[in-house]
Amino acid sequence: MKLISSAVMLAVLGLSTFAVQAAQPTPGLTGCAAKRSAIENQLEYAKAHNNAGQIRGLEKALQENTEHCTDEGLKEEREQKVRKAESEVKEREADLKQAQAKGDSSKITKRENKLAEAKAELEAAKAELNK
């Protein structure tokens, strides 16, 4: 029984790894071209696995990308996301300072965790700027 469940887990992990790779754009592309490439790769994967619902959604996303995506607009969206994430980090830092001033250890721990999450989101947003 354990052998079967191990085999199933390995198969699931293998498929999920391929699905993640399918979501990656062709290397060297940036901006809307990279976004379009990632959608096209996901679409190929969905077609190979006969996933009709996903195919429809990805075809719509590809159409929207083709019709509306501009590198300048995408860059502005990403910069706005960074600004929002920076604001969130500042807010979380203020919350943490307030909890530290009160000396409530459980609130301090919660605020530290929230701050760590906000910083991770900020780093992810910054990483997106160059894609």
- Any domain includes 10: no
Q: Which domain holds residue 53?
A: 21-69
- Any domain includes 6: no
- One-letter amino acid identity for 11? A
User: How many domains does the chain contain in total?
Assistant: 2
Are residues 63 and 84 located together in one domain of the fold? no
- pLDDT at 75 exceeding the cut of 80: yes
Among candidate residues 25, 130, 23, 26, the one with its CA nearest the CA of residue 78: 130
Over residues 82-123, the pLDDT tens digits come to: 999 999 999 999 999 999 999 999 999 999 999 999 999 999
- Any domain includes 25: yes
Task: Go through the chain and tell me how many residues it has.
Answer: 131
Are residues 131 and 83 located together in one domain of the fold? yes
Cα 57 to Cα 36: distance, rounded to the nearest angstrom: 14
More confident residue, 1 or 68: 68
- One-letter amino acid identity for 125? A
pTM: 0.66
